[in-house]
């Protein structure tokens, strides 16, 4: 069994360049190297405290999972005052407090270091340099803080650039010197992360990092294997994207997160090849009208790139399963900082499905024949990113506001109240190569220019990838829909390899064969309303929106009679109702996860990804599924499952 709690090394990444503020050469001339933000300037009391304006203090934060030595480091102002030699160690996910003149600056909190030299109240430029003189972090203005209330300037996100004004807030938390959080979680970060726990993260080759955006019951963790929970998944994605040096391939069912859009634009401007596969929607469908309009506005920003000129080197390249037309509404274009004129795209009349559509086509779709495209009825339902052909970032999370925050208001306040989700990121060039083959089957080429005459989505794809790879000594299976019969392989796994238990959280489940194999494990019979308990343990949760649907596996598992049946869903009732529940979440239970034989010696395995266990999920949509044979990963999923299960009224023994 490999140990996933390895220490993080200081990994080089490209410095996040602010579009229009500094160019790459200018950045290097300023001495800001392409270094990891291992330690950052996290909070500055440039105004002092209520006791004295001289009682200034500065806090550093280590956002990695290993301790960092600060011996030989220096924190210095551009004008030379203060200039503070650092020493000692800042713990993993820990704070380092610098107090001016004496340790009485904040009487109740001991300083890590005492320094001399005052900060200007109008502004300062501060550099944090490591022992080699490399600039690790920079703050170039007082973007927040209040001299009247003695409220500090707090960083919102340690993974985002310190020269970005939007990454700083004025503290709202009371402490003895005014408003601030010395050696504590920042005001906005606290609400953002709601007790974020990131204790099991690795950058090493072969690492598999699992992130849950909801709580986890770590009392069920195996030794040293606490799950990462209450995680801001957007921050994890941004961290990975910001490290890209050569390529980003993103497949997205939906996307409307401004920071992700901005980062993709910035990376393309830096010379990174950015390719995006996006799912088109029926623009007239009332369920999608507003969201799809917002998505197209953001995608047009990507197509235009940083200079907003179509066809230049900084553009992001996009292809969809069906063509997309620009949003022509002038007010909305202005709101999203898009040019008023859009005639740099060609106005075209084309056939989409069986209907003719006219508009300014800005994203090409898979071509059926000349001027004729497939309809957007099928879903390119993937949500994965490939970074530098070595990291795979995938799971159930759509890259959306509702998917993570629940609402724009929550997003602006940094509150995580979205759908229940998971993300798995894997450091494996071999696995990334398999995903790249799948990506390029839909993309139609191996270059940045898609070929929509060759591209294949949905049922037009073929099974053309390996299905097993070794990652860090463990077996990982990978299947794509359609074409690979992902749910069929999952069903066979339950039939032949599940020995002791199966726990699941599922958004939508209608596949009858999978239900029947689990029924046979549970009560030794495939027959309707027959069977005797075998001792095999089944526990599960269904999203509330599908709990009472006639086709849902929840009907059969609870012994209910469906209101109707079909050839593919005959409603084989369980004679012994299983302890499965409707989820009790603030929004959707969006995961598609099954955990097999967790915490046993019988090959603990977890099944994750974007694939709902249904006909569409298996045979129509574009999806991806991972089957991870790994004891520790399965245990991490159990920790999150138990939290969801108890919340829904289940009992964990």
3-state SS assignment for residue 640: helix
Domain 233-443: give its CATH architecture: 2-Layer Sandwich (3.30)
Q: Kindly indicate the confidence band of residue 12, based on its pLDDT and cuts at 50, 70 and 90.
A: very low
DSSP state of 315: P
DSSP state of 218: G
Q: What is the 3-state secondary structure (H, E, C) of 329-370?
A: CHHHHHHCCCCCCCCCCCEEEEEECCEEEEEEEEECECEEEC
CATH no., domain 465-647: 3.30.870.10
Q: Treating both helix axes as pointing N-terminal to C-terminal, what angle do 258-269 and 289-304 enclose, rounded to 10 degrees?
A: 20
Contact 520, 527 (CB under 8 A): no
Average pLDDT of span 124-129 = 95
Q: Check residues 121 and 16 and name the one with the higher pLDDT.
A: 121
Average pLDDT of span 561-569 = 92
3-state SS assignment for residue 300: helix
Q: Kindly indicate the confidence band of residue 188, based on its pLDDT and cuts at 50, 70 and 90.
A: low
Q: Kindly indicate the confidence band of residue 496, based on its pLDDT and cuts at 50, 70 and 90.
A: very high
3-state SS assignment for residue 495: helix
Nearest-10 Cα torsion for 433, 437, 438, 442:
140
Average pLDDT of span 170-197 = 74
Which of 55-64, 467-476, 481-490, 616-625 is predicted with the least confidence, judged by mean pLDDT? 55-64
Give the per-residue pLDDT at 24: 30
Q: Where are the domains of the chain?
A: 24-193, 233-443, 465-647
Residue 127, Cα to own-chain centre: how many angstroms? 30
Contact 580, 539 (CB under 8 A): yes
Q: Check residues 11 and 348 and name the one with the higher pLDDT.
A: 348
pLDDT tens, residue by residue, 419-474: 999 999 999 999 999 999 999 999 999 999 999 999 999 999 999 999 999 999 99
pLDDT tens, residue by residue, 238-276: 999 999 999 999 999 999 999 999 999 999 999 999 999
Give the per-residue pLDDT at 3: 40
Return the structure tokens found at 360.
């300014």
- Give the span between the Cα atoms of 93 and 158, in whole angstroms: 10
Task: Please enumerate, as own/partner, the contacts of 140-144 that have beta carbons within 8 Å and a separation of 24 or more.
Answer: 141/165, 142/44, 142/46, 143/167, 143/168, 144/168, 144/169, 144/170
Q: How many Cα atoms sit within 13 Å of 334 on the Cβ side?
A: 3
pLDDT tens, residue by residue, 192-210: 344 788 999 999 999 999 9
Q: Check residues 184 and 485 and name the one with the higher pLDDT.
A: 485
- Give the span between the Cα atoms of 609 and 624, in whole angstroms: 6
Tell me the pLDDT of the chain averaged across its residues: 90
**Taking 80 as the threshold, does the pLDDT of residue 366 lie above it?**
yes
Which of 155-164, 202-211, 609-618 is predicted with the least confidence, judged by mean pLDDT? 155-164
- Give the span between the Cα atoms of 616 and 218, in whole angstroms: 35
Sheet strand arrangement including 39-45: 113-115, 95-100, 57-62, 39-45, 153-155, 168-170
Give the per-residue pLDDT at 65: 64
pLDDT tens, residue by residue, 521-541: 999 999 999 999 999 999 999
pLDDT tens, residue by residue, 312-329: 999 999 999 999 999 999
Give the per-residue pLDDT at 107: 87
Fold of 24-193: Immunoglobulin-like (2.60.40)
Give the per-residue pLDDT at 11: 33
- Give the span between the Cα atoms of 626 and 630, in whole angstroms: 12
Give the per-residue pLDDT at 189: 54
Q: How many Cα atoms sit within 13 Å of 336 on the Cβ side?
A: 26
3-state SS assignment for residue 458: helix
Q: Tell me if domain 233-443 and domain 465-647 are identical in fold.
A: yes
Residue reference for tokens 């099974």 = 463
Indicate the pTM of the whole model. Answer: 0.73
Output phi, psi for 621, to 5 deg: -75, 165
């Amino acid at each position: 069994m490999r140990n996933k709690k390895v220490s993080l090394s200081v990994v080089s990444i490209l410095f996040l360049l602010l579009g229009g503020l500094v160019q790459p050469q200018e950045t290097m001339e300023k001495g800001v190297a392409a270094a990891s933000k291992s330690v950052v300037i996290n909070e500055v009391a440039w105004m002092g405290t209520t006791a004295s304006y001289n009682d200034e203090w500065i806090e550093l934060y280590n956002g990695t999972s290993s301790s960092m030595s600060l011996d030989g480091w220096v924190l210095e102002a551009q004008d030379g005052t203060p200039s503070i030699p650092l020493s000692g160690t800042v713990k993993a996910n820990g704070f380092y407090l610098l107090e001016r003149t004496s340790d009485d600056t904040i009487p109740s909190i001991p300083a890590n270091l005492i320094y001399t030299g005052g900060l200007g109240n109008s502004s300062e430029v501060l550099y944090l340099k490591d022992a080699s003189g490399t600039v690790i972090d920079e703050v170039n203005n007082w973007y927040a803080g209040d001299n009247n209330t003695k409220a500090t300037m707090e960083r919102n996100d340690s993974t985002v650039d310190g020269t970005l004004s939007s990454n700083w807030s004025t503290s709202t938390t009371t402490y003895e010197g005014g408003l601030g959080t010395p050696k504590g979680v920042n005001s906005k970060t606290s609400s953002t992360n709601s007790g974020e726990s990131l204790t099991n993260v690795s950058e090493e080759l072969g690492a598999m990092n699992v992130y849950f955006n909801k709580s986890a019951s770590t009392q069920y963790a195996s030794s040293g294997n606490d799950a990462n929970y209450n995680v801001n998944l957007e921050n994890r994605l941004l961290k990975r994207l910001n490290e890209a040096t050569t390529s980003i391939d993103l497949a997205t069912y939906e996307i409307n997160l401004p920071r992700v859009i901005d980062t993709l634009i910035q990376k393309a401007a830096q010379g990174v090849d950015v390719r995006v596969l996006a799912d088109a929607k029926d623009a007239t469908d009332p369920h999608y009208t507003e969201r799809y309009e917002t998505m197209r506005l953001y995608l047009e920003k990507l197509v235009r790139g940083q200079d907003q000129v179509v066809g230049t080197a900084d553009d992001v390249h996009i292809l969809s399963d069906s063509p997309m037309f620009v949003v022509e509404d002038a007010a909305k274009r202005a709101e999203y900082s898009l040019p008023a004129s859009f005639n740099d795209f060609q106005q075209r009349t084309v056939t989409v499905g069986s209907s003719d559509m006219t508009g300014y086509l800005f994203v090409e779709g898979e071509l059926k024949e000349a001027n004729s495209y497939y309809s957007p009825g099928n879903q390119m339902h993937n949500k994965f990113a490939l970074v530098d052909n070595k990291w795979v970032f995938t799971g159930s999370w759509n890259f959306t506001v509702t998917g993570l925050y629940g609402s724009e208001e929550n997003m602006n306040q940094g509150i995580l109240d979205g759908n229940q989700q998971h993300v798995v990121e894997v450091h494996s060039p071999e696995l990334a190569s398999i995903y790249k083959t799948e990506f390029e089957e839909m993309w139609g080429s191996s270059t940045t220019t898609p070929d929509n005459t060759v591209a294949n989505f949905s049922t037009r794809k073929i099974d053309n990838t390996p299905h097993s790879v070794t990652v860090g000594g463990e077996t990982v299976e990978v299947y794509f829909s359609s074409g690979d019969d992902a749910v069929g392989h999952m069903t066979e796994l339950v039939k032949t390899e599940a020995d002791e238990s199966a726990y699941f959280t599922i958004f939508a489940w209608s596949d009858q064969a999978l239900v029947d194999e689990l029924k046979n494990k549970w009560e030794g019979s495939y027959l309707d309303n027959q069977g005797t308990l075998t001792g095999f343990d089944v526990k599960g949760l269904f999203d509330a929106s599908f709990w009472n649907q006639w086709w849902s596996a929840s009907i059969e598992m609870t012994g209910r009679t469906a209101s109707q049946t079909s050839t593919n869903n005959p409603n084989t009732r369980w004679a012994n109702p299983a302890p499965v529940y409707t989820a009790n979440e603030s929004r959707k239970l969006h995961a598609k996860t099954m955990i097999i034989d967790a915490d046993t010696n019988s090959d603990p395995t977890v099944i994750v990804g974007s694939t709902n266990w249904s006909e569409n999920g298996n045979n129509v949509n574009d999806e991806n599924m991972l089957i991870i044979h790994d004891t520790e990963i399965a245990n991490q999923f159990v920790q999150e499952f138990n939290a969801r299960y108890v919340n829904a009224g289940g009992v964990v023994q």
